[in-house]
Every structure is written in C-alpha cells, then in structure tokens.
Amino acid sequence: MSDAIEEFRSRILERKPLRLKGGGSKDFYGGPLQGELLDTRSHSGIVGYEPSELVITARGGTPLAEIESALAARRQCIACEPPRFGAATIGGAIVGGATIGGAVAAGLSGPRRATAGSLRDFVLGVTLMDGEGRELIFGGQVMKNVAGFDVSRLITGSLGTLGLILDVSLKVMPLPAAEATLRFELPQDQALDTMNRWAGQPVPLAATCWQGDVLTLRLCGAQAAITAACKSLGGELVAEPEAAGFWTALREQTAQFFAGPDTHGPLWRLSLPSVTPPLDLPAPQLIEWGGAQRWLRGAVDVASLREMAAKAGGHATLFRGGDKAGGVFSPLPPSLMEVHRRLKQSFDPYGVFNPGRLYPEL
C-alpha cells in the first residue's frame, strides 16, 4: 500500500470537508472551493499501458500531458481531447496543467467530442476511495464490461463529490493517420445547417468551430478519405502549423475569445441540441461540437439564459468568472435531485468530498 493512499485515507477518516485538487487547472470551475486542501499529485504515474490492448491505466494524480505524451509516442491518443489548461513543458519536464483524476472528475471534453465521443465514453474503470476510506474498484481494463452498475462513468463529471479517484483506466485510440483543416465564410444560421448536414454524411468530420462568420472544420482519418473530403467540401485549406495551433487554442481556451480580460464578462457554456437555431443573445458567441456547444462571453440575465437553454432542450453553465450566487449549473428537478442526494449519501455519508462544488445540496 502506498504512503500516498494511506495519507489520503487518514485525511478522509477525519470526516472533515476536503477540497480535492490535482493540478488546480480547473479551480475556476463549479461551485465555491470549500474544505481543507487534499493534493492528489503525490499519487502519480502510469500503471499500465499496452498499445495493442488500447488501454492505459494511470494514478489519479498523473498529469494529463504526461499520459498524452506516452500515448503519442505510440501514435495513440485520448480521442475526445480533454483540456489540459495551462500545462507547459519546461526543460523537458511537464509542469502544471490538469491531472487525469481531475480531468475525469470534471468530465470535460475538447474539440473532437461531437464525433469521437466524450471523456465518459472512454472511461473503462476507476479505483475510488469513498467517504469511509474504502478502496473500491469499478469497471476494469476491458472494452466491454456490464458486470455491476456503471459506477466508473457515474464518477466521471461528478466533480469529486462522490469520492477520491485513485486510478483511472481509459480506452485509447490511434492518432488519426491524416488531418486537414478547412475554412468557410458563413453566417451563423448557414454554419449551423452546414455542420449538421455534413455530420449526417459519411465524411471524416472531427471538429467544428464557428465564430465571427467563419466556420472552421477539422477532418481526421485515412489519407484517402481526407483527400476526397477536401475535394468535395471545398473551402480554404488552412496550412500547418496554423491549423494545429487553432485547435489547441480552442481546446485549452487560450484563443482570444476565451482569454480576453475579465472586463469581457463571464464565460457561459450552453449545451444544446446541435440543431438549435441561432440564439438571439446580446453577447459574442463561439460555437463548437457541430452546434451542440455554444460559448457566450458577457454579462447576461441568468434566469432568461437558463430559460432559453431549457426551452431549446439544453442547459447553461456559468463556466468561468461571474457571480456564482445564481448557481453554476442549471438546477435539477426535485425527483432527480433526490436520486443525487441518495447517491451522495451512500458514497460520502459524512460530506467529506468537495462540498457544494456541484450543487449546494451535495
């Protein structure tokens, strides 16, 4: 048993609120940070990686960038491209940025999510320490596993409120053999229609981004398929390294739209059905995921924004900045909140893990 795990356990058994933190790259996300700090990075390292099994297992405190560099060396990747937020390589070493445990806890996915799947789709198993210091293994290291309820995917996106993630096993995929980025001048309504139509055709669409009347498309796949799609779709080919830089800046939210000063107002994330028509909002928008993820920068009326999102069949999250008093995530109906409360109670009966980070009640 590692010292780190024993230390985690003894902290948990004190039954006092803990604020779980990996790289701290997503401290801005979710409700208020409450409780004593528990840094997970003492429990770090890749435990197992066999490229031909398409599975990697790593300790929760392992930097995501370290995992991705090990995968890249074998031409593999985490296909949903979860954000690393602020990772940097200094003198050959990876510094800062997200850990895999934090990435799974937050459940965020990057530019390829609409076509490749979400981080939750790639989680195969987790080892969790619950609120009573018990180590529990759910899922495993195999692609198909229906033994027991799918707790490892329940944990994904639970913002650390159900337990401390000790180990994670992920399904990994080959890096695309070829990529291309195309650019089109299109107003929002036409861009939305185009993204949805092309997503319904057998073209190797990997990611989309619309902003300021420009639609940028990323294609990933076999060289032959990319060549054929470039010919049939048209548009202007964006050369490397500009193209790669564009998608990285989108993934890491270093692009101008996200990175501007706070005076540009809070960043809202709208998760909507991809076919939702353009929303009439008094703030600049950036659209990803074929229309299903829309970022909004600026001060808006929370209640009417949430109502607009709900009406369209989605939800609105106060992603970064702003006043969290109005709730970070869209509220849940009482019947669903009741199920949430019972789950929280069974995994964390003493309210140790990240209280209030997801909802004040949890």
Partner 1 sequence: MTSQHDYAAAAARDATNPDREALLAELARVLPAAALLSATEDLKPYECDGLTAYSALPWAVALPQNDAQVVAVLKVCYARQVPVVARGAGTGLSGGATPVVQGVVLSLAKFMRILEIDPLARLARVQPGVRNLAISEAVAPHGLYYAPDPSSQIACTIGGNVAENSGGVHCLKYGLTLHNVVRLRVALMNGEVIEVGSHALDDPGYDLLALLIGSEGMLGVVLEATVKLTPTPRTAQVVMASFDSVVDAGDAVAAIIAAGIIPAGLEMMDKLATAAVEDFVHAGYDLTAAAILLAESDGTAEEVAEEIAAMSVLLEKNGARNLRISQSEAERLKYWAGRKAAFPAVGRITPDYMCMDGTIPRKHVAHVLTRIAELSAEFHLRCANVFHAGDGNLHPLIMFDARNPGETERAIAFGAKILELSVDVGGTITGEHGVGIEKVRQMCVQFSREELDKFHAVKAAFDPLTLLNPGKAVPYPRHCSEYRLIGSAR
According to CB under 8 A, which residues from 106 to 145 bind partner 1?
Answer: 107, 113-114, 117-118, 120-121, 130, 134, 136-138, 140-145
Site for partner 1 in 209-228 (CB under 8 A): 221-225, 227-228
Please, which residue, 261 or 333, has the CB nearer to partner 1? 333
Shortest CB 292 distance to partner 1, Å:
5
Structure tokens at 199: 């997503």
Per-residue contact track with partner 1, 51 to 90, x per CB under 8 A? Answer: xxxxx-------------------xx--------------
350 binds partner 1 (CB under 8 A): no
Please, which residue, 241 or 334, has the CB nearer to partner 1? 334
Shortest CB 132 distance to partner 1, Å:
9
351 binds partner 1 (CB under 8 A): no
351: left (phi over 0), alpha (psi -120 to 50) or beta: left
186 binds partner 1 (CB under 8 A): no
Residue with tokens 């933190």: 21
Shortest CB 67 distance to partner 1, Å:
18
336 binds partner 1 (CB under 8 A): yes
Shortest CB 252 distance to partner 1, Å:
19
Please, which residue, 89 or 227, has the CB nearer to partner 1? 227
Tell me which stretch binds partner 1 (CB under 8 A): 18-26, 89-97, 255-263, 310-318: 310-318
Alpha-carbon distance of 348 to 133, in angstroms, equals: 10
Name which position in 90, 93, 146, 239 contacts partner 1 (CB under 8 A): 146
DSSP 8-class letter at 52: G
157 binds partner 1 (CB under 8 A): yes
Are 18 and 12 within 8 A, CB to CB?
yes
Shortest CB 143 distance to partner 1, Å:
4
Q: What angle do CA 60, 251, 220 make, to 5 degrees?
A: 105
Shortest CB 338 distance to partner 1, Å:
9
- Dmax (CA) for the chain in angstroms is 63
234 binds partner 1 (CB under 8 A): no
Alpha-carbon distance of 22 to 101, in angstroms, equals: 7
Long-range interactions of 262-266: CB distance < 8 A, separation 24+: 262/321, 264/297, 264/298, 265/297, 265/298, 265/299, 265/321, 265/322, 266/297, 266/298, 266/299, 266/318, 266/319, 266/320, 266/321, 266/322, 266/323
102 binds partner 1 (CB under 8 A): no
| Helices and strands in the chain: count of H runs, count of E runs | 12, 19
Site for partner 1 in 255-284 (CB under 8 A): 271-275
Please, which residue, 25 or 274, has the CB nearer to partner 1? 274
352 Cβ neighbours under 8 A, 6+ residues apart: 12, 15, 16, 17, 18, 35, 131
Site size toward partner 1 (CB under 8 A) is: 85
DSSP 8-class letter at 63: B
Please, which residue, 15 or 315, has the CB nearer to partner 1? 315
150 binds partner 1 (CB under 8 A): yes
315 binds partner 1 (CB under 8 A): yes
Alpha-carbon distance of 217 to 237, in angstroms, equals: 10
Distances (CA, A) of 147 to 124, 150, 151, 152, 300: 12, 8, 11, 12, 45
Please, which residue, 96 or 343, has the CB nearer to partner 1? 343
